[in-house]
Amino acid sequence: MGVVERHHVRIAGQGEPAMLFAHGFGCDQNMWRFVAPAFEQDYRTVLFDHVGHGASDRSAFSRSRYSSLDGYARDVLDICHELGLRDAVFVGHSVSAMIGVLAAIREPALFSRLVLIGPSPRYTNDGDYVGGFEQRDIEELLDVLDDNYLGWSANMAPVIMGNAERPDLGRELTESFCRTDPDIARHFARVTFLSDNRADLPKVRTPALVLQCSNDVIAPLEVGSYVHRHMPGSKLAVMKATGHCPNLSAPEETIALMRAFLAGRGAAGGDDAA
Amino acid sequence: MTLPNAIPEESAEELYENAPCGYLSTLPDGTIVRANATFLSWTGHGRGEVLQRTFQEFLTVPGKIYYETHYAPLLAMQGFVREIAFDLVRKDGSRLPVLVNTAQRRDADGRHLLSRTTLFDATERHRYERELLQARRRAEEAVKIKDELIAMIGHDIRNPLASLVSGLRLLERQGLSPEQARYVELMKATTGYVTTLTGNILDMSRLEAGAMTIESAPFGLRDTLGAIVRGLEAQAFERGLRLSLRIDPAIPERLAGDRVKLGQVLVNLLGNALKFTERGGVELEALLTERRGALASVRFSVTDTGIGIASDRLAHVFEDYWQAGGEGGFARGGTGLGLAISRRLVELLGSRIEVASTPGQGSVFSFTLGLRVEDGQP
């Protein structure tokens, strides 16, 4: 199976360069539905699912390849090579922001700009560093995943529906947005929330925009400014949007800030890194 | 259906406040703007402590992560979420497992104004699901341990056993005294027994894993059956039993099938019959039951004059680790896997083993295989 099928790659729009959108933990490429179309006029938009998410090929999952974010970064590079992308704009949400950082360090020529939405180089606290979480919280998160039908749906939905004669009812549950394979989701949660990529930030040479939400528990303001301070030439924009998914809750604001950054007008309300 | 004349009065407000589930109205960012009395009593908070705070604030830390990474995106994309499991944190710090359903309320332009959320007390369901999950984890763990054990048998026991067997063969040729030779015989019997046993365990695991495949190649049935019976003659002689072979002359000379698995089943059945027969004998018979074109149906049966099996136990003989004599366990040797393996092998060959038995008189194990005729006869 090729890279395109493996990641359920979807291409739309016209123009160069390409704009590659990478979804975060808990979702699939559907989460770009309010943002990506706005760029189809000027860019070739490329959407994909991480392995184990959405309509990707689950059989491509391997614990060793995906034992760290590096494996996911290699997938991003695979997609770029397969589609012959160069100077692409990489847009990564949540954990995929760091995945994009790793990909851009490995092969800088492939990327012209990075848009990092709610990035965090480390989610757990460490000495003076405030990531926002304790290791214990992450272990408990795995229980919450187990508790939820989203995590269980692939196996449990037909059982929960208790209606084998009407499999369409079961499908309604499993074929919603953000389908994830429960086991892979557990694995991805662990790899994501126990990652530490602080040392990678200074290695980035690609101009980057950090989009920081107000009141984001997953990636608090301290974390966003940490990323900005440690990534040379990056810009930070603190958004009015709250929560962790401005691409869904505040698409207009997200699009406007991205446009300003891509037009070289800096980050509205933001400032340049020293 | 007729309604009773006097329906107890109940205002919509009363129903909202005291419904047996929690109700919340929240702004798109999660800020609670309305909460019913049930929610307040569940959480132990006063109304003033709840309004203007976000719903997320009443969740555990991992619950907050789940809210931001799953609940909120899903709600934004599809306009509703169903049955999301959260733990509410009560005022006293204790937790209440709830199932949450939320639907967005939008204005005429499709703008998200409010979210309406119902919460159901899921304490019992949660406990039950956790138990199920733990049971599944334990089962998966057990399978893993079993697989490791099987792999260990495959390598760490079979390999040294093989050197032990060849060592004994060499020792045998060293001009031993009669007493030494007797000890070597004993060791050979024991290593042979352990080899069979580990082989059975490996076969069983291969069968369970569906890793056993059927081969089909031409073979002579008379030669094959003759060799099997000759291989067991010593055992029959030692036990003072008669061992005989009857082959229907109508059976074609060359057939095609899985000779190895057929042999394995027959050796198992004959070995068992010899083990559980005290006097009399054991007979292997092959009978042509049907000939249609190039396909011959051959019925194989192993008949003994042994202890037999009571009718109420007959159904269990093919279960794993079952042995005649029940609690006698391993007294007669073997793992109790022989019949279970034979049954599965025969099923793999496309047939079923049948058993008929009279306690005190003996048993007949039989099965019929369709084998392709290879000798060119029509």
Contact assignment for B29 to A137 by CB distance below 8 Å: no
Does B124 contact chain A (CB < 8 Å)?
no
Say what the pLDDT of residue A179 is. Answer: 76
Residues A259, A263, A265, CA angle at the centre, nearest 5°?
Answer: 95
pLDDT digits (tens, 9 = 90+) for B211-231: 788 888 999 999 999 999 998
Output A30 or B337, whichever has higher pLDDT: A30
Least confident span in B41-45, B164-168, B316-320, B373-377: B373-377
What is the C-alpha to C-alpha distance for residues B225 and B215, in angstroms, rounded to an integer? 18
Strand partners, A237: A211
Does B30 contact chain A (CB < 8 Å)?
yes
End-to-end, the C-alpha distance of chain A in Å comes to 45
End-to-end, the C-alpha distance of chain B in Å comes to 76
pLDDT digits (tens, 9 = 90+) for B194-212: 888 888 888 888 887 777 8
Residues in chain A with CB shorter than 8 Å from the CB of B62 are 137-138, 140-141, 143-144
pLDDT digits (tens, 9 = 90+) for B48-90: 999 989 999 999 999 999 999 999 998 888 888 888 899 999 9
Does B131 contact chain A (CB < 8 Å)?
no
Say what the pLDDT of residue A164 is. Answer: 41
What is the C-alpha to C-alpha distance for residues B124 and B121, in angstroms, rounded to an integer? 8
SS3 content of chain B, % helix, strand, coil (to 5): 45, 25, 25
Contact assignment for B72 to A244 by CB distance below 8 Å: yes
Say what the pLDDT of residue A149 is. Answer: 55
Counting residues of chain B whose pLDDT is more than 70, the rounded percentage is 93
Q: What are the backbone angles phi and psi of residue B238, rounded to the nearest 5°?
A: -55, -40
DSSP assignment of chain A equals --HHHHTT-EEEE-SSSEEEEE--TT--GGGGTTTGGGGTTTSEEEEE--TTBTTS-GGG--TTTTSSHHHHHHHHHHHHHHHT--SEEEEEETHHHHHHHHHHHH-GGGEEEEEEES--SBSB-BTTB--SB-HHHHHHHHHHHHHSHHHHHHHHHHHHHT-TT-HHHHHHHHTSSS-B-HHHHHHHHHHHHT-B-GGGGGG--S-EEEEEEET-SSS-HHHHHHHHHHSTT-EEEEEEEESS-HHHH-HHHHHHHHHHHHTT---TT-EE--
Q: What are the backbone angles phi and psi of residue B311, rounded to the nearest 5°?
A: -60, -35
> Which member of A28, A56, A93, A94 is catalytic?
A94
Q: Who contacts B95 (Cβ-Cβ below 8 Å, separation ≥6)?
A: B60, B87, B88, B89
The angle, 0 to 180 degrees and rounded to 10, between the axes of the packed helices B178-208 and B158-172 is: 150
Does B133 contact chain A (CB < 8 Å)?
yes
Q: Which of B61, B62, B73 sits opposite A27 (nearest CB)?
A: B73
Would you call A94 a catalytic residue per the annotation? Answer: yes
Residues in chain A with CB shorter than 8 Å from the CB of B97 are 147
Amino acid present at B139:
A
pLDDT of residue B377 exceeding 50, the answer is no
What is the C-alpha to C-alpha distance for residues B241 and B233, in angstroms, rounded to an integer? 9
Residues in chain B with CB shorter than 8 Å from the CB of A26 are 66, 69-70, 73
Q: Which of A26, A134, A242 sits opposite B73 (nearest CB)?
A: A26
Q: Which long-range contacts (CB under 8 A, 24 or more apart) does B209-213 make?
A: B212/B345, B212/B348
> How far does the CA of residue A86 sit from the closest CA of chain B (Å)?
30
The residue of chain A with its CA nearest to that of B134 is A146
Say what the pLDDT of residue A151 is. Answer: 42
Would you call A214 a catalytic residue per the annotation? Answer: no
The residue of chain A with its CA nearest to that of B84 is A148
Say what the pLDDT of residue B2 is. Answer: 66
B contact test, residue of A35, A93, A123, A150 with most B CBs within 10 A? A150
Q: Which of B63, B68, B74 sits opposite A218 (nearest CB)?
A: B68
Contact assignment for B68 to A249 by CB distance below 8 Å: no
Say what the pLDDT of residue A176 is. Answer: 57
Which structure tokens are listed for B20? 């047996």
Output B316 or B95, whichever has higher pLDDT: B95
What is the mean predicted confidence (pLDDT) over B11-26?
95
Least confident span in B35-39, B60-64, B272-276: B272-276
Residues in chain A: 274
pLDDT of residue B243 exceeding 80, the answer is yes
Contact A182, A53 (CB under 8 A): no
Q: Which long-range contacts (CB under 8 A, 24 or more apart) does B12-17 make?
A: none
| CB-based burial, A137-156: b 16+ in 10 Å, e otherwise | bbebbbebbbbbbbbbbbeb
> Which member of A8, A49, A216, A234 is catalytic?
A216
Contact A142, A185 (CB under 8 A): no
Q: How many CB pairs under 8 A join A and B?
A: 95
Contact A227, A121 (CB under 8 A): yes
Say what the pLDDT of residue B43 is. Answer: 95
The angle, 0 to 180 degrees and rounded to 10, between the axes of the packed helices B123-152 and B178-208 is: 140
Say what the pLDDT of residue B315 is. Answer: 77
Contact assignment for A144 to B85 by CB distance below 8 Å: yes
Does B125 contact chain A (CB < 8 Å)?
no
Contact assignment for A150 to B74 by CB distance below 8 Å: yes
Contact assignment for B76 to A249 by CB distance below 8 Å: yes
Q: Which of B62, B70, B83 sits opposite A26 (nearest CB)?
A: B70
Contact B282, B259 (CB under 8 A): no
Contact A208, A231 (CB under 8 A): yes
Enclosing H/E stretch for B186: helix B178-208
Strand partners, A115: A91, A209
Does B57 contact chain A (CB < 8 Å)?
no
- Per-residue pLDDT 10s for chain A (274 aa) are 789 999 999 999 988 899 999 999 988 999 999 999 999 999 999 999 999 998 899 889 988 899 999 999 999 999 999 999 999 999 999 999 999 999 999 999 999 999 999 999 999 999 999 999 999 999 899 888 888 854 444 333 333 333 344 444 444 444 457 777 888 888 999 999 999 999 999 999 999 999 999 989 999 999 999 999 999 989 999 999 999 999 999 999 999 999 999 998 655 444 544 4
What is the C-alpha to C-alpha distance for residues A234 and A205, in angstroms, rounded to an integer? 9
Q: Tokens 């709600």, residue?
A: B75
> How far does the CA of residue B18 sit from the closest CA of chain A (Å)?
27
Contact assignment for A26 to B126 by CB distance below 8 Å: no
Q: How far is CA A83 from CA A44, A73, A112, A189, in A?
A: 11, 16, 16, 28
Average predicted confidence (pLDDT) for chain B: 88
Say what the pLDDT of residue B375 is. Answer: 66
Q: Which of A26, A141, A147 sits opposite B129 (nearest CB)?
A: A147
Residues in chain B with CB shorter than 8 Å from the CB of A248 are 72-73, 76-77
pTM of the model: 0.67
Contact A15, A42 (CB under 8 A): yes
Q: Tokens 């931001």, residue?
A: B68
Would you call A244 a catalytic residue per the annotation? Answer: yes
Q: Tokens 């899903």, residue?
A: B74
> How far does the CA of residue A18 sit from the closest CA of chain B (Å)?
25
pLDDT digits (tens, 9 = 90+) for B284-310: 999 999 998 889 999 999 999 988 888
What is the mean predicted confidence (pLDDT) over B316-337?
58
Strand partners, A209: A115, A235
What is the mean predicted confidence (pLDDT) over B325-332?
44
What is the C-alpha to C-alpha distance for residues A193 and A124, in angstroms, rounded to an integer? 7
Which structure tokens are listed for B246? 């009857």
Say what the pLDDT of residue B376 is. Answer: 55
Q: Which of B63, B70, B87 sits opposite A150 (nearest CB)?
A: B70
Strand partners, A235: A209, A272
Say what the pLDDT of residue A269 is. Answer: 41
Enclosing H/E stretch for B347: helix B338-348
What is the C-alpha to C-alpha distance for residues B211 and B21, in angstroms, rounded to an integer? 52
pLDDT digits (tens, 9 = 90+) for B350-365: 899 999 999 889 999 9
What is the C-alpha to C-alpha distance for residues B67 and A186, in angstroms, rounded to an integer? 16
Q: Tokens 């934004």, residue?
A: B76
Instruction: Tell me the pLDDT band of B3, cut-offs 50, 70 and 90.
Output: low
Q: How far is CA B128 from CA A143, A147, B187, in A?
A: 14, 11, 53
